[in-house]
Structure 1
């Protein structure tokens, strides 16, 4: 039995030893896009489908036919003890997985548009983080034209104003959720309390990703990626114990340390309803103040005036069906763009 080798390492040597000698055209070579191995999370279990020696080649449009013929003629049947042709879900056939395409076609498939023309705030807000991971994670083995390297650098993280707005939206969501947990506990709704506790846990973890400038993967790898964050050592035990107040206070201190906005002294106290001076005995943090500080620091007046409902990942489930098989991300970009234009 062939011993397991992480897919990214397999792709690196597969390109260098089996594919690169066949390609005479200037090109970029990489392993990006979908797949657990792109994130570095694959293991032996991952090899049961859509896994094996593979690489993407991005070549000039006039050279694709030449490169395709050379690869098909020269690719070995096996590499590293594994077949180079295996079942492809996309084509429904057994074929090799040296993807040969142009940069223009590849980036349009990954993002739905070409970011080299520039990204406005609407583009950023409508880009699912999983798509951003498709482009910014993995590894580039070669990049003769340089386009891939430049685009990866462009997409490394959100512009500061967009970052502030997403953080504001995250704290708004926290502030809306936290008192509901207290109310369900008070009424004895244990099932509702469990749902809200899980939601608060997720919101806190998402906040840590935002604060550490890390795009978060979809649910299968969400917890795995969270464990890699610097904040996880402190936040993890608090969230496991459902000590949400301490966890959110820790996140509030970390927010101040970013220097993105005027600092807000983290505080916890009874929930003030905001109507008729009503106060309820549910311990909450001052999430609204933190959100307001982030909004106030936004330099673009249009974005600053936009209600902080969040980007696509905060508004929707943004799963594979939406991200890959629908026009919703680009449709949502048009909605953001319209709102910003009318602000």
Structure 2
């Protein structure tokens, strides 16, 4: 894998001095001009990015990162902000994300990620193709992935792909870094075939850009990563070759003293373990730990996970009667002799990692016949229960709709396209997006009684649809859809023709398609890209950033349906670019909606709800609670930025999505979800309690008091968040009075974005 942190550091210095082609000069200057106008009118001190980066390099070169890097980065952020240097601050934030990730400080990293995205938006980078935006997206996505926030990571990586295709040359190593990180995401979400594809592309880019691939540390890291993915796929011969190749490159280039050598050592150790060479694995893990301790210290995820791997290898060596050499002997001798006998390794995600893919959730990969669980193999999706009321076991598909769709695409649809339309195989986007519970990932056994089954969407450019659209649709409709699911959740499609008999009694068929999902409203099959989005939103592509009135006519549930689901492939990038356009809500529109939600929370929850309850108008109070809950839930999504977390879906899945987002360690206002559910639980007693009806027979008074208290607690939390984001300078908790402060940050003069 490419040493991404070093590359990003090089880029950060270039960016801080101003881009060579001048594309970003105006937007950076404008952002800095706004920041420079500080309240006291004092001339800020200069922030020297070169000095900052040299100082950080010195800390890492002295192997003092574990104690010195954190305070150094924190002070640098303060210095850059005080100097009004927006570009410098963005550089510091990108460096901080990488360091916090290496230290396992994922909770703290959430603020760095959020701050970097907000700063990039303020600098005007998010609407262009600047390298700064691409770099920031990659770093933010990688931070999310390291924290196992996979949905957010996937969205950010896809945004980065769109920008990188336009911002970087085909041999730019940052493209390799992006492919490598995508492979990590796919590995950790049980999509090993895609992980392998991404890694091979990363290796191709790095070798093409290298002066000497046989002594290039980035080439070595890519071999290590590919070895571990092949190992997870049980391709031991290929895994061994690539892991050994990585060690050979370190030896040829005399790179054994690099911090990344730990990755190569532990990676080969993982291969040795799978080959039941436990003593060699022990020695490799020991050597990796020495490098990790020297470079990063013991108090890191990398140390602890590698130590766990070492202990497991020691147990297996003892159980199999293998003699363990004293620390330092075996691998040292093997390195002198070559790489075939005992060289060892570990995955490197962005240059600072020292932990293998497979060990983040388990101590090793069990090999055939060995007890244990491989976290990279597919398992039954526990979100789909085995039974559901009157739904019998034989009727329930035990895997999620998206997982079923991926299998259908991989085993049935893609082979058909490659066989019957080979000249278009590299031009068709595929996935599942739009209406339906499975598109949101919330389907369960109850969702399978209608519009459920093997299906996917195929999206074509207008000219391609004109050429093959009808034929491709006919071929798609004729595909066999019978499948089996084994005890481990693996989906296998039966090789039968349409209408044929099932291969086994376990073969499943789902075809209860309702009228609303047929004809012009169909949810799968072949579509023109523009027609697909028009059917959902009324627009073939997202409105222009300046078309505020059009954005405001698109409700959040509509935007959620246009941007949910998964895209399995998009060779031309056209579909993803169009989809991303709908996700990238202009910040002025987001701020205007936040203001509207603040107004409704104040009106319905803080003003009309208590008055309606005092009047005894239960119906009005109940409706006030509904408006308050909807506005508050929407505000939470808007505060968390739809570009990062998606939009609030329609009412059925509103709280499922809110719970999922609130459970993320990166969530802002995470406690509001539970508070809203408590309000709804108490609403019956508060509105219609009366004497002897409320909870415990105490009437409505206790419920009313609790609801009013929760409303004010939520208002206080919202104000605290607005203050943190510098969207207000007021502590006023009646949220109507916060609206002018928020609207002051709307750059556009369009009156539709401002309240009266």
Same fold judged by TM-score > 0.5?
yes
Match of 2:718 among 245, 251, 264: 251
The equivalent residue for 1:6 is 400
In 2: Cα distance, 1:92 partner to 1:200 partner: 36
Match of 1:234 among 659, 671, 686: 671
The equivalent residue for 1:293 is 741
The equivalent residue for 2:729 is 263
Match of 2:650 among 195, 213, 218: 218
Contact 1:161 1:300 in 2 (8 A): yes
**Per the alignment, do residues 165 and 49 of structure 1 end up closer, same or farther by CA in structure 2, a change over 3 Å counting?**
same
The equivalent residue for 1:15 is 409
- Higher Cα Rg, which structure: 2
In 1: Cα distance, 2:596 partner to 2:628 partner: 14
Q: How does 1:64-143 map to 2 (within 5 A)?
A: 64-73=469-478, 75-80=479-484, 81-83=507-509, 85-90=511-516, 98-115=524-541, 118-119=544-545, 120-143=547-570
Q: How does 1:155-174 map to 2 (within 5 A)?
A: 155-174=582-601
In 2: Cα distance, 1:68 partner to 1:304 partner: 43
Q: Which has the higher contact order (CA 8 A, sep 6+)?
A: 1
Deviations 1:1-20 (A, max 9, x none): 25421101110110110111
Match of 1:183 among 611, 632, 635: 611
Match of 2:448 among 41, 47, 50: 47
- Structure with the bigger percentage of strand: 1
Q: How does 1:314-325 map to 2 (within 5 A)?
A: none
**1:56 deviation in Å?**
0.6
- Structure with the bigger percentage of helix: 2
Contact 1:226 1:232 in 2 (8 A): no
In 2: Cα distance, 1:117 partner to 1:207 partner: 22
* Ranges in structure 1 where 5+ consecutive residues have no aligned partner: 268-284, 309-343
Q: TM-score, structure 1 length as denominator?
A: 0.75
In 2: Cα distance, 1:304 partner to 1:72 partner: 46
Secondary structure of 2:712's aligned partner: helix
CA RMSD of aligned residues (A): 2.5
Equivalent pairs counted in the alignment come to: 286
The equivalent residue for 1:273 is none
**1:46 deviation in Å?**
0.3
Q: TM-score, structure 2 length as denominator?
A: 0.36
**1:168 deviation in Å?**
0.8
Choose 17-26 or 150-159, whichever is displaced more. Answer: 150-159
In 1: Cα distance, 2:523 partner to 2:608 partner: 49
* Ranges in structure 2 where 5+ consecutive residues have no aligned partner: 1-393, 485-506, 679-705
Choose 244-253 or 78-87, whichever is displaced more. Answer: 78-87
**Per the alignment, do residues 35 and 123 of structure 1 end up closer, same or farther by CA in structure 2, a change over 3 Å counting?**
same
